[in-house]
Amino acid sequence: MILVKKKQILLISVYIFVGLWIISTFFKPEKKDEIVFSIGAGTKEIGFIEELVAEFERENPAIQVKLNVISSPTDQQHHYYLTTLGAKTENIDVMRIDTIWLAEFASARWIEPLDAFITGEDRASFIPVTEKTNVYEGYLYAIPWNINVGLLYYRKDLLEKYGFSPPDTWEECIDICRKITPRENLYGYLWQGKQYEGLVCNFIEFIGGNNGRIIDENGATVVHSVQNKRALDLMRDLIWKFKISPPNTYSELMEESSRHLFQQGKGLFLRNWTYVWDLCQEDPFMAGRVGVTQLPRFPEGAHSSVCGGWHLAVNAYSKKKEKAWRLIKFLSSGKTQKKLALNLAWAPTKQLLYKDPELIKQAPLLSIVEKSLRNVQVRPNLPYYQWISDSVQKQINKALSDQKTSQEALQAIYSKMERIQDDFRKN
């Protein structure tokens, strides 16, 4: 009797063992391959990107995406990549890069050419101007994820109250500010004057609105032109003479600090990027009170915006380039970009989306973006752009804080740019 029981127990144990072996051999949970996506952006943006990544993982069950969230200001992100990519890290596969880093990263061979991955048809579907900052020495190094332009946000309610239309020129803008701001106790024009990349964007827009450039179409340095001096004089005057921009413009104001002031009801006009539209719509105080248009121009100039935006690139040291590309293809698809436009007011890089009826209805901002793109100023796509930018940031900030005249600051940038270009040619 005892012997029979023992036999049964043995048999059951064998069955259990074989069963477990079959399960563990044939029904192993699929091993996922992890790729790392490095990105710096605002809190709401990161939240939404997490949702997109989850959608990508559902569509690609063998891939798991780890987000490497870094701090959002562009200069800080740039610094992060100088140290990580400079150390040949393999721990990043996909990166969101600012348009201005492309030539530098490509010439250092830190990012992978993508020509072999993309089809001609897909490439042609993007806004053509994006190629000016995606291509280096004939190769495509990144896919444009969103395009950005400087825009003029205004308090529609206050302009209506005093019977004004949004300004076309700087003269009109100053006039409106001087009439409304003392009565409503707010600042007139908020913009980004602190020493960082955002100041370079503002400077290029001011000079662009007066037909001025840093480098002309033949590659000559023309930063010290008469038009540019006039534009820089105006930037100073907004703070010191007309007093319609806050006195801390040159020490404090960046995208986020100026946006906060505006949303707190402390500014009549704000220069900022597309994302501000979305944040104003969900702000109970701002919703319905804010309008958006192109930046003011000088009488002889045209409305002018900087072409900003962010691209997706693959780390040249990544061991998972094919999977990295799959994520880029998903994130930059028309379907995903439409969601980004509806949820975050990111302006698409796919041309067709500007004709999408649902987007046109729900994102009125896109028509202003389209107009601004007609006279968009592309920052020089050069490997040594950062050195030029550092000099522009420093000198323009000195002029704004009244440590230098406009003439002195522009002349100093000119001399520095010539030296940088010489050095680069020699090396």
Residue 13 CA to residue 94 CA, distance in Å, equals 49
- Residue placing its CB nearer to ligand GLC in the complex, 198 or 291: 198
Q: How many CA atoms lie within 13 A of 63 on its CB side?
A: 23
Three-state DSSP at 20 gives helix
* Sites of contact with ligand GLC (CB under 6 A): 74, 98-100, 148, 197-198, 201, 255, 273, 308-310
Residue 266 CA to residue 391 CA, distance in Å, equals 31
CB of 41 to ligand GLC, least distance (A): 9
- Residue placing its CB nearer to ligand GLC in the complex, 38 or 74: 74
Indicate the DSSP class of residue 253.
-
When CB distances to ligand GLC are compared, the closest residue is: 308
- Residue placing its CB nearer to ligand GLC in the complex, 41 or 234: 41
Question: At 139, which helix (H) or strand (E)?
Answer: strand 139-140
Contact 330, 56 (CB under 8 A): yes
Q: Where are the beta strands (DSSP E) in 172-304?
A: 187-190, 267-272, 290-293
CB of 275 to ligand GLC, least distance (A): 8
Residue 78 CA to residue 142 CA, distance in Å, equals 16
CB of 148 to ligand GLC, least distance (A): 4
- Residue placing its CB nearer to ligand GLC in the complex, 231 or 253: 253
- Residue placing its CB nearer to ligand GLC in the complex, 167 or 193: 193
- 266 to each of 240, 259, 286, 345, how far by Cα in Å? 18, 10, 11, 23
| Count of C-beta atoms within a 10 Å radius of residue 263 | 18
CB of 308 to ligand GLC, least distance (A): 3
- Residue placing its CB nearer to ligand GLC in the complex, 42 or 265: 42
Residue 217 corresponds to which tokens in the numbers above? 């179409």
CB of 73 to ligand GLC, least distance (A): 7
CB of 312 to ligand GLC, least distance (A): 14
